[in-house]
Chain A
């Protein structure tokens, strides 16, 4: 069935470094794709999403492009801050069984 596979961490970076978290998907059609962020002790917040091929989602300096040819939805940020330290989840809504498929989550720590 439809699913996502996410690069596992943890990832440790210095402030102002470039961040990439890889996410690839397997799907029979073209489902929407989401990135969620979870700050320590909090719930999941929708960071960005894309609904069709070649869409680019962006928010808070993060970007992800829905690439059909590589079945990918990698998350990128050009210059991270300490406040970006969190766990990031890639997700795909499966309309065949009405469930979300999540990646394993990537813990990102940004050091000053």
Chain B
């Protein structure tokens, strides 16, 4: 069954700790994205990657880091430099349409809720 898997579903972090959120996809999509969602808010882009070993900062990259060593995986690390990390984090993968292909696909994982304790 194809899809995107985020883990864990809930994560608790102590002040000053780094934590890593996992995102894995088996859709064979080249592009992967991390978004942050705060209560009652929309989605804000943290980082994205179009291809293995390459990634770009989004709108709110400060305090976060990523890696893209495999096509299937795009982990997000929330570092101690992120001042307000408590939020809901969403991972997405996208197949961008190429000439001759039908249409763009964009799917999301189930999210990870990170709480600072």
Interface residues of A (CB under 8 A from B): 31-32, 34, 36, 41-46, 49, 51, 89, 91, 93, 95, 98-100, 102-105, 107
Contact = CB atoms under 8 A, between A and B. Distances in A.
A51 B101 CA distance: 12
A34 B107 CA distance: 11
B106 A91 contact: yes
A88 to B, nearest CB: 12
Nearest to B45: A99
Contact of A43 (B58, B97, B111): B111
Contacts of A51: 102-103
B110 to A, nearest CB: 4
B108 interface: yes
Given A42-B111, A43-B111, A100-B33, 16 more contacts: A32-B97, A36-B108, A41-B111, A41-B113, A43-B110, A46-B106, A51-B102, A89-B43, A98-B96, A99-B33, A99-B48, A99-B58, A100-B92, A102-B42, A102-B43, A107-B40
Contacts of B113: 41
- Looking at A95, A100, A105, the one whose CB has the most chain B CB atoms below 10 A away is A100
Nearest to A104: B42
28 contacts: A32-B97, A34-B106, A41-B111, A42-B110, A42-B111, A43-B6, A43-B108, A43-B109, A43-B110, A43-B111, A44-B92, A44-B108, A46-B107, A46-B108, A49-B103, A51-B103, A89-B43, A95-B96, A95-B97, A95-B104, A98-B31, A98-B50, A98-B96, A99-B33, A99-B48, A99-B58, A100-B94, A104-B42
Interface residues of B, number: 26
Contacts of A42: 110-111
A59 B113 CA distance: 28
B76 interface: no
Contacts of B109: 43
